[in-house]
Chains A and B, each alone.
Chain A
Amino acid sequence: MLTQTIPLFRASAKMMLRSRGVIWAVAAGSLQILVFGLMKELDFGFGAGRIGFLDFVLPGIAVFLAISQLQDIMVAVAANYKARGTLKRLAVTPVSPPLVIAVQILTHVGLGVVVAALVLTVGTLIGGDLAITINLLWLVPLVGLAVLTALATAFAVAGLTPNPQSASNVGVTISFLVFAFSGAILPVEALPGLLPHIVQYAVPQTALIEAVRGIALTGAGITEFGTQVLIGAGWLAVALVVAALAYRFTEE
């Protein structure tokens, strides 16, 4: 098992680093935050409140770009595996398809954490006001959880759609909704009525992004975000179950 897993990890990492989409995912986040860093005099206003744009979006965009771009990439990979019967053919080799998938997912989770860390580092260097404490290390499992949920969602989408084109359309639609309602870029507190409370439970990444922002900006410990972590873990479980039911490794 281990003799197969290590070479698979190495191959998956090499393929990932050669992919243009992945290079773009790494570069785009940092470029975007560099541009946001130029907008130091931009704020969000709602009600009587005012929030500095850069500080608000820095933690949000670090997570959002990692999850949306890696989800889009994984939707394409998973949908093409399905369309071409790649895993069906792999099933008759000594390497098991679930192992191939698991290795790919773990490599991408690692990349997601690196992308988010890079964005946060660049953002801090250009003036973002992060609380540099040991608690920042809690962002690693939190971002990992968010990326894992996004990748499981990608497999669920690939499994539930008939072809790569439809999978891509559904994937982009999900990213668009996450962009709007996850609190990554737009403050959900500005939504009317009960919606700010509802989206925290109804949108997979909202609670996790709230926890990431809280820790990154205030230096609070993860114990202050127990509810958010539970909601995030709940969504991960749902995404994994749907992916496992919808995406078949060896049957059409």
Chain B
Amino acid sequence: MTGTLRIASASTKQLLRSSEVITTMVVFPAALLVILALFSDLKWESPAGAVPLIDFWVTGMGVLAVALGNGHAFLATIANYKAGGVLKRLSVTPVSPAQLILGEVIPRTVMGMVTIIAFLAVGRLLGADIRLELGILAVVPVMVIVTVTGLSVAFVIAGLTKTPQNANALDSSISFPLYLFTGAMFPLAAFPGWLEQAARFIPYTGLIATVRGIAIQGRSLTDFGPELAIAAAWMVLLFVGAARAYRFVT
């Protein structure tokens, strides 16, 4: 346990020094918020009604940025571990590969939660209609699911691909449809009915709807039972897939 915490502490320091993490978790979200503030007059008009772009993207892009930004940076690390045989070599030291991985996962999960809360808070300051009440804390467990799902996807990709370059290419191909079909950028109500229904079964769709419902409409977590059930099923499925695809020592 102490070993894992020490590794987590070292990973945290490394993360905070990493330019890629700073870029994906601080610079781009900050730039996006400034852009949204400038376009605060713009709305999406769909059959579901009008919704300000800033409210829609602060919640949708906030969740997806944490999931994909975190997952992308993590993928680079674990794909290089695999390519370089790092975990294989670690398995003969007193530190286990599982401890090393856990030490990477813990700080990224915490960072994901801090990022989304900060993103929502700054978004509110810039004009988004975010309810910063006690109920907003309900997004924390949702973001745990978001982060674990994103990191599990990274493990699956790193396990299924042979080189970091291939891992990166597969990751980019998967990210592309997520921006289009999860409701992060575009209202699902604008799609034809069959696609709107199908999109609800994509891993992050329900989580984005939940965060949006909590942060914008002040709804409670219990209103999103089906969404959370689908997201939890994906999380378990991807977690199992990750454990099978990414081998620590062989």
Genuine A/B complex: yes
Binding site for B on A (CB under 8 A): 20, 24, 28, 32, 35, 38-47, 50, 53, 169, 173, 176-177, 180-181, 186-187, 190-192, 195
Complex: A192 Cα to B40 Cα, angstroms:
9
| Complex contact B43–A44 (CB within 8 A) | yes
Residue interface bits B190-216, CB-to-A below 8 A is 1, else 0: 111001000000000000000000000
What 18 additional pairs, Cβ within 8 angstroms, besides A32-B180, A181-B35?
A: A24-B173, A28-B176, A38-B192, A38-B195, A39-B186, A40-B190, A42-B44, A43-B44, A44-B45, A45-B43, A46-B41, A46-B42, A169-B23, A176-B31, A187-B42, A190-B41, A191-B38, A192-B41
- Chain B's closest residue to A186 (CB) is B39
Complex: A237 Cα to B187 Cα, angstroms:
40
Complex: A46 Cα to B44 Cα, angstroms:
9
- Chain B's closest residue to A43 (CB) is B45
* Minimum Cβ distance to chain A for residue B199 (Å): 11
* Minimum Cβ distance to chain B for residue A85 (Å): 22
| Complex contact A38–B176 (CB within 8 A) | no
Inside 8 A of B189's CB, which chain A residues have their CB?
41
| Complex contact A180–B35 (CB within 8 A) | yes
| Complex contact A191–B39 (CB within 8 A) | yes
* Minimum Cβ distance to chain B for residue A155 (Å): 22
| Complex contact B42–A186 (CB within 8 A) | yes
Inside 8 A of B28's CB, which chain A residues have their CB?
176
Binding site for A on B (CB under 8 A): 19, 23, 27-28, 31, 35, 38-47, 50, 53, 169, 173, 176, 180-181, 186-187, 189-192, 195
Complex: A46 Cα to B43 Cα, angstroms:
6
Contact A20:B43 (CB < 8 A) given known A38-B192, A39-B191, A176-B28: no
Inside 8 A of A45's CB, which chain B residues have their CB?
42-45, 50
- What are the 10 A-B residue pairs with the smallest beta carbon separation, nearest first? A42-B190, A45-B43, A39-B190, A43-B45, A190-B42, A180-B35, A45-B45, A46-B41, A46-B42, A35-B180
Q: In this complex, which of B27, B176, B190 has the most chain A Cβ atoms within 10 angstroms of its Cβ?
A: B190
Complex: A180 Cα to B181 Cα, angstroms:
20
